[in-house]
Structure 1
Amino acid sequence: MAWWEWLLDVSGLVLLLLVGYGAALVARRRLLARHGGTFELSHRLNADAPGRGWVLGMGRYEGERLEWFRVFTLWPKPKRTWARDQLTYDGRREPVGAEQASLYPDHVVIRCASRDGEVELAMSPASLTGFQAWLEAKPPGTDWNVR
């Protein structure tokens, strides 16, 4: 077999793997959306460097929890989960500097306080409205003053 035939075979295999990976990502997103609507939700994993540490993802409300899934992985379980009664909305801001290139277009950055510390998320203004409504719809008897 000539070297160029071997190169064509390897290129075809790589292309086939990429198409299969893309199809698996689409199937995973549809499977996740089947159990409740998903929305674009980025999470800042590393807050050490200003404007850096953002990871694209999607969010899903599952009862009393907000689940966050990475976009470019095939893992079916959420990477992070936050309980509704442990989150407090602290404000929003526009992305600045490198964040504008790291996040989805037109997303706003929000800060939340949780028992584990500060949480930074980025979502569209429409998703933010839904998030605030979800937070405010805490069950009866919830102590609103507890952080």
Structure 2
Amino acid sequence: MEDLVVPLTALATAVAVLVLGFGSLVARRLVLSRDVGTFDCSMRREVPGGARAHLAGSWMLGLARYERDRLDWFRFFAWSLRPARSLERGRLVILGQHAPSGPEAGTVLPGWVVVRCAYGTVTVELAMSEGAYNGLAAWVESAPPGQGINVA
């Protein structure tokens, strides 16, 4: 029986670390999503390269939250309460949206749309539900006076 004490202690410690890690991710998501204007949103951005520029193949799962003049995007699998990316409303231009097709259809959640945006000189794609897209378009269009409307 004494031979099992060390392995069982190590196993219990590993399980406790996994449970605490998972619990902290769930708690972080609850803290971030308790504010109004938070929605599930995946993101991928253009890889710079001049004429060879292309969109990175991997989508990053996350949450987006509207702030007064920016859209904050948080990685889903991270512990930080700071956004991984902030997109200023005045620089965000919605170029269009489409239903995912081909290999892209298997990388975003079912029923979501892909929204192609220009952000300065970079192209960003966001994947979200149709309702979230309608909210994003309305948020971009409702910019305060003095800012242009950025929906193509």
Same fold (TM over 0.5): yes
**Residue 64 (structure 2) aligns with:** 59
What does 1:52-131 correspond to in 2, within 5 Å? Answer: 52-131=57-136
Please list every run of 5 or more consecutive structure 1 residues that lacks an aligned counterpart in the other structure.
none
User: Identity of paired residues, percent?
Assistant: 38
Q: Deviations over 1:86-143 (max 9, x none)?
A: 1111111222344333322221111011113111110000100100100110111223
Change (3 A) 1:41 1:14: same
- Using the TM superposition, name which of 32-41 and 113-122 deviates more: 32-41
Whether 1:24 aligns to 2:28 is no
Instruction: Output the CA distance in 1 between the equivalents of 2:109 and 2:125.
Output: 15
Say what the alpha-carbon RMSD is for the aligned residues: 2.3
Please list every run of 5 or more consecutive structure 2 residues that lacks an aligned counterpart in the other structure.
48-52
TM-score by length of 2: 0.83
2:46–2:56 Cα contact (<8 Å) kept: no
Instruction: Output the CA distance in 2 between the equivalents of 1:111 and 1:88.
Output: 9
Q: Could you tell me how far 1:46 is from its partner in structure 2? A: 5.7
The count of residues paired between Structure 1 and Structure 2 equals: 145
TM-score by length of 1: 0.86
1:94–1:109 Cα contact (<8 Å) kept: yes
